[in-house]
Amino acid sequence: MSPILIGIAAFIAIASLVGGVAVLLHEKPAGKIEDRLDVMTGQGRSSLEKGRLAAQNSILNQPLEDQPSFIENVLNRFGNFELFFEQADTSLTFSNLMMTAGILTLVGAGAGAATGINLLLIPIVALIMGSLPLVWLFLRRRRRLRAFAVQLPDALEMLGRSLRAGQSLAAGFNAISEELSSPISDEFGRVFEEQNLGIALEDSLNSLGERIPNLDLQFFCTAVILQRQTGGDLAEILDKIGSLIRERFQIWGQVQALTGEGRLSGAVLLGLPVALFLVVYQMNPDYVSVLFTDPLGKKMLAGAIVMQIFGALVIRKIVNIKV
């Protein structure tokens, strides 16, 4: 049988096994709804069983789909992964992400085995394929936060004009959520909805600052909270913050233009050894295989990888100028 067919069959079998186990272990939402209704109405269960459900599952104060796994509970001790997914604005959960990464890892290993490449390169291909979901999540979060930072000056100016027109601060938040695009409309609209539900403005702004790690947004939240406590012209404060952000963007653009040559040189220096390795491996595999078979070659390869990583960090430190 062809190696390609063997790899495809192995991938389908493993994917079916993983999907079946996930379906069996995943509790249906209908069952959670029934449990919640039983606890709320006090029917169908004894008091001891209802107490056990309330203590173990916290049915009354948790969303139906929000049941973190054991791995999520362990990893949340080292960082707030739920906040990271919220910042990326994705409906994926940690379990779904890890399952996707595992499937892509198997696909990479199967594709590497089917194409007949060196056995030592198969784990590298599998690792690259498995890291694609994580890279996608990081890029999505970074793009969303950057878009929020670009929209923030316009939002502050709109909020200042709304205050000068005699509208309330909550009405200004609602105008931002209706007039501007995502992601800033989603975040300010959430603050507006939280106020409608009775949450204090200070708590809503603090939550906004936790969801969006932006220094200019922290200035805005602090200014609004202080103005509500001490008084003052909030519209003028917002105009000054907006102009300060625009001047910072202008300086940042100049810095990016001045460091463009260094960033391009760094990309070429980091990508050239890898591209040269692939070209030589394609032309003469026996010549490159010495790096994987000879002990000295393995040491040279490990040293080259370490030096590449060190060089990338040094170049990043040089061209990454904070404004």
Nearest C-alpha neighbor of 195 from the set 169, 176, 167: 169
Residue 35 structure tokens = 């449990």
| Residue-level pLDDT at 14 | 59
Question: pLDDT tens, 8-37?
Answer: 555 565 555 555 544 444 444 445 455 555
> pTM for the complete prediction?
0.66
| Sequence-separated (6 or more) residues with CB below 8 Å from residue 248 | 216, 323
| Least reliable range by pLDDT among 15-19, 185-189, 221-225, 279-283 | 15-19
Residues 177, 323: Cα–Cα separation, whole Å: 28
Nearest C-alpha neighbor of 65 from the set 37, 36, 27, 97: 27
Residues 210, 32: Cα–Cα separation, whole Å: 30
Match 């001047």 to its residue by tokens: 247
Residues 173, 171: Cα–Cα separation, whole Å: 5
Residues 169, 235: Cα–Cα separation, whole Å: 10
Task: Tell me the Ramachandran region of residue 92: left when phi exceeds 0, alpha when psi lies from -120 to 50, beta otherwise.
Answer: beta
Question: pLDDT tens, 116-173?
Answer: 776 777 888 888 888 999 999 999 999 999 999 999 999 999 999 999 998 888 899 9
| Least reliable range by pLDDT among 47-56, 172-181, 298-307 | 47-56
| Residue-level pLDDT at 126 | 86
Contact predicate 110/2, CB 8 Å: no
| Residue-level pLDDT at 269 | 85
In this predicted model, which residue has the larger pLDDT, 42 or 287? 287
Residue 13 structure tokens = 């079998």
Mean pLDDT confidence for 236-246: 88
Residues 261, 268: Cα–Cα separation, whole Å: 11
| Least reliable range by pLDDT among 42-51, 76-85, 111-120 | 42-51
Angle at 107 (CA atoms; ends 9, 140), nearest 5 degrees: 145
| Residue-level pLDDT at 188 | 92
CATH pick for 148-244 out of 1.20.81, 2.10.240, 3.90.1150, 1.10.10:
1.20.81
Residues 201, 170: Cα–Cα separation, whole Å: 9
Domain boundaries, the chain: 3-133, 148-244, 259-319
